[in-house]
Structure 1
Amino acid sequence: MSAESHPTLPPVRLHSDAELARDALGAPLFARAVRLARWAGPATRVGVGGELAADQLPGAAAHLGLDAGDENAAGYASRAWRVAVDTGLVDVTEPEGDTAAEEGGEAGEEPYGTAAPGEDLALVTGGAPADVLGLWRAALEAVLADAAVPDLDGLVDALDAGGEIDFDRLDWNPGREADLLDEVLAHLYLLSVAGGRTSDRQIPLPVLAASVVVPDGMGEPTDAVLEQVSDAMMRLDDQFRQLEPIGLVEFRPVDEELMARPDEDAGRGDRAGDDEDDEDDEDVSRYGMVRLTPLGLYGIRARMLEAGVDAPAVGELAGKGADALLDAVSSYPEHAAQAEIEQWMAGREPSAAVAELLAAARGDDEGGPLRRLRCQQALALAGPEAEGAVRAVLDEAELGGLARVWLAEHGVTGVPAPAPEMVFWLTVDTIAAQLAADGETEELPLLMETLTAHHTGFFDQVWRVRHPSTVQVLEAMGRLHPDRKTAKEARKAAFKARSRRS
């Protein structure tokens, strides 16, 4: 997972470690691996790679409660055993030499090693939630490695005369395939956390495939690109089928009826993902739908952190200072900033917390307006006990305006009226914060209109405000103000403010 691809991601809401550990233990593949680890004993025989002997697979499948008539039962048992070995739930001793002959068996008989429950198995019931999650993450890595391998038919077709895999014939590069799967999961994570709807965010499979295939800036995809999207979608369909049993995703596979005409339908699916009004939800879902589970969000975030990606989680700033809080949440979406601020405020003495927030909100740097906006958001959570801390900044140019707003909202009387300079400074600061937070939104012109309507001769005064964002704000008002005459006055005021600086 590339840190360059997603240098900073929106914060994610994670479940507690205890909840995630329960989810991990309930993941079908991990649960089967645990059961086989407990089943392993002196009579368990393994091959050179630690795999179960073929004649023991039916017994393993029966121990897991799999239907003996299911042709896939042995495969499910074999896969669970590999996970148990790869995670350390089972310790194996691989065979050395012709063990069968040494023990009096027939010469040439395949040698076997032994297996026994591993030390880590005790962590499943006796360890902390973090220990269980560590085991689950090891299992996840094993499953991801398997998912990056082509299907068995492709491997058989690519065997050369010497029985070795011809990677050129297979057109498969192990490193490239693993990187592509990492990129897909990074996109899925980003799409899941964007907007904060991580609990029900289902992503159409063609949209996910297109996100890693279609070049940036391409308008209408070409037929060749749509064919690549179709191929990627079919590959993802197979991979997500493998990833679902470990609890990473909830997955609705591609409708089998569409498999006969993937090129045409994958293109339609991609367009449906771009404009969901063209088809109803049921039609879109036929092309496959995937959602990261809460455990999946945890797992992918952990992998991204290891890769150096900044992937914040709501609540991780609760123990840090107000300066770190305001700097971080300044770049968060509104809902995420609110959630982080609420956790930071919880358990703190309100008056001291408000004083610390106000101190951190000061500054005439570029990030100052947005810090004060988030500070105001935090102050909204404080009750009357914070009045003293708020009153203490009434005379400060940077904080006096927002302090008066808070006191007025709480019905405090006897607050001195602000000087005109402070009013105009607060106006500039407010618009600058909105521009920094959301850009030029549809709501911003209405805010500008409201602010200017309450002040006679607004532009005769505001260009003189000694705020680092005065020129930027006036230029934005000149572009966005709904009244043409007022917009022209804003442009003239911006010219005066630039001239004064020069």
Structure 2
Amino acid sequence: MSDSSPLPPVRLHSEAELARAALSTPLLARAARLARWAGPDTRVDAGGSLVEEQLPAAADQLGLTGDDAAAYAAEAWRVALDSGLVEIADEDSGTVRTGEALALLTGSPQEVLTVWLAALETVLADASVPDLDDLVDALDEGGEIDFASLDWDPEAEAAFLDGVLGNLYLLTVSEDGAGDGPVPLPALAASMIVPDDMGEPTDDVLEQVSDAMMRLDDQFRTLEPVGLVEYRPVDEALMADADEELAAPVEEADVSRYGMVRLTPLGAYGLRARLMEAGFEAPVVGELADKGADVLLDGTAAFGPSAALAETELWLNRHEPLSGARELLAAARGTDAGGPLRRLRCQQALSLVGGEAEPALREVLDDPELGGLARVWLSERGAAEVPAPSQDLVFWLTIDTVAAQLAAEGNSEELQALVEGLAEQHSGFFAAAWRVEHPATADVLEAMGRLHPDKKVAKEARKAAFKARSQQGG
């Protein structure tokens, strides 16, 4: 992902809901329980980890049993230490004391989330480390880890996981993405491995995807207890014969057997915080609700339809219909490049406003930029005495509408259908359209020439665009 353009806006749950979710995550709950359990007799080693003799008691405190109980207890303690729930009281004696962060867990939602974000960083760091068996195998004769034998680059591994999580965030918040649904693990792995311009993946690339899936399976198992994701692991039967099964095309089998991951609402909050810290622009639906109409129309220009609608509804809820309509109309004016899309967003916003706004629309009937959309609004509501638009106004509004659609969607199928319809409905459209005094006339006609499937009509559009550009130059 590039940080040069904003990400799609995310819809976050309230901080109160997110804080409750954070407190109920297994890992933070365990860390807090150990922090409250720790006392003067609790001993840690030089790195702050619980000494081995205390792990059974810690596991018992957490109600953990089985072979992995000590490991889970050690992990919870590490989270407690790194997030400030406990602190080293005396390094020489290896004693601990309650950390200042423990009190934050009973504080404001923002304070709770601050602690959770610290816990998340610890877990993310752990997720990038090879598993214990690999580390044991890499011990040299002196008991030190031979990192070269692991074929492990800590920075590259962390960057890979960050990239995967960034793609998961993007898939979750995008209009045509997964939304609240799960994402197949093969799709996430492929998003990091398979080049965008590659047609059929080579065997080598498929093998890389398979290896990445195995790494991600371990990592998502680690990340689930902190509440970042909900994860359905790769089927153990496939893991038993990974080389044969994972090389098979995924669509030939039940894709869920290959792992499914869903970003939780808490996870969306956490990843957005990390993306913002990394320099990305990651907007949130609702951020513009208390801003002016000019900020709303410009800010939602890059939003998808549903996000723009949600943001606009929140803005309208804070305004009286008549005064809100006047503010929106005033903000929609302008001959700059962003003007057409502002007017489109204004028209969409006004479609949500009731008849109380009618006086505001009548006030702009003679406005050369707003008169067209005002007539559309009034006519759609069956208002009386709506003056017929002049031919010039009809063509100006047409150019403005296509320019807005170009800015919002690019060369979409919907825009192509609009272009075809315009050419069919208006005989001599191009002969008249090039004369329209609109800043985007030439660009719109060029786009129509690109998009229209009929070569003859496309040629007419290109000729009209040339005339329009010549007129602008003159």
For residues 139 and 325 of structure 2, what CA distance do their matches in structure 1 show? 69
Q: Deviations over 1:463-495 (max 9, x none)?
A: 110112212222333344466665454344333
Q: Give TM-score scaled by structure 2 length.
A: 0.94
Give 1:83's aligned residue.
79
Match of 2:255?
284
Q: For residue 44 of structure 2, what is the amino acid of its counterpart?
A: V
Q: 2:442 aligns with which of 471, 474, 479?
A: 471
Distance 1:147 1:445, change over 3 A: closer
Shift of 1:180: 1.4
Q: Which amino acid aligns with 1:251?
A: Y
Q: 1:92 to 1:160 in 2, by over 3 A?
A: same
Q: Which residue of 1 aligns with 2:335?
A: 364
Q: Distance in 2 between matches of 1:360 and 1:162?
A: 71
* Pair 1:295–1:113, CA change in 2 (3 A): same
The answer for unaligned runs of 5 or more in structure 1 is 97-111, 273-277
* TM-score, normalised relative to structure 1: 0.89
Candidates 23, 26, 30, aligned match of 2:24: 26
CA distance in 2, matches of 1:209, 1:480: 35
Counterpart among 146, 170, 181 of residue 166 in structure 1: 146
| Percent of residue pairs bearing the same amino acid type | 65
- Write the mapping of 1:33-72 to structure 2, written as runs, cut at 5 A: 33-67=31-65, 70-72=66-68
Please give the alpha-carbon distance, in whole angstroms, between the structure 1 residues aligned to 2:452 and 2:46. Answer: 75
Instruction: Say whether the 8 Å CA contact 2:290–2:318 is kept in structure 1.
Output: no
Counterpart for residue 395 of structure 1: 366
* Aligned residues: CA RMSD: 2.0
Whether the 8 Å CA contact 1:253–1:287 is kept in 2: the answer is: yes
Deviation of 1:354 (Å): 1.6
Q: Would the alpha carbon gap of residues 219 and 389 (structure 1) be closer, same or farther in structure 2, given more than 3 Å must change?
A: same
Counterpart CA distance in 2 for 1:481 and 1:217 is 26
Give 1:123 deviation, angstroms. 1.7
Deviation at 1:452, TM superposition (A): 4.6
Q: Distance in 1 between matches of 2:453 and 2:137?
A: 67
User: Structure 2, unaligned stretches of length 5 or more?
Assistant: none
What is the 5 A alignment of 1:262-301? 262-268=242-248, 271-272=249-250, 278-279=251-252, 283-301=254-272
Match of 1:204 among 177, 181, 184: 184
Return the letter of the residue paired with 1:34.
Answer: A
Query: What is the CA deviation profile of residues 226-263 of structure 1, one whole-angstrom value per residue up to 9, with x for unaligned ones?
Result: 22111111111101100000000001111111123324
Deviation at 1:402, TM superposition (A): 0.5
**Residue 405 in 1 paired to residue 376 in 2?**
yes
Task: Sort the Cα spacing of 1:372 and 1:279 in 2 relative to 1 into closer, same or farther, 3 A.
Answer: farther
Q: What per-residue deviation string (whole Å, max 9, x for no partner) do you get for residues 44-77 of structure 1?
A: 222222222222222221221223xx11111111
1:307, CA displacement in angstroms? 0.5
Q: Is the 8 A contact 2:3 2:281 kept in 1?
A: no
Q: Provide the aligned length of Structure 1 versus Structure 2.
A: 473
Deviations 1:120-152 (A, max 9, x none): 212212x11000000000000011111111112
- Taking structure 1 as reference, are residues 312 and 266 closer, same or farther at Cα in structure 2, changes over 3 Å only? farther
Which residue number in structure 1 is paired with residue 465 of structure 2?
Answer: 494
Please say if residues 171 and 177 of structure 2, whose CA atoms lie closer than 8 Å, have aligned partners that are also in contact.
Answer: no
* 1:303-452 equivalent positions in 2, closer than 5 A: 303-452=274-423
Aligned residues of 1:233 and 1:266 also touching (Cα < 8 A) = no
Distance 2:425 2:208 in 1: 58
d(CA) in 1 for partners of 2:153, 2:339: 49
For 2:230, what is the secondary structure of its paired residue? strand
**Code of the aligned partner of 2:86:** V
Partner of 1:240: 220
**Mean Cα deviation higher: 486-495 or 24-33:** 486-495
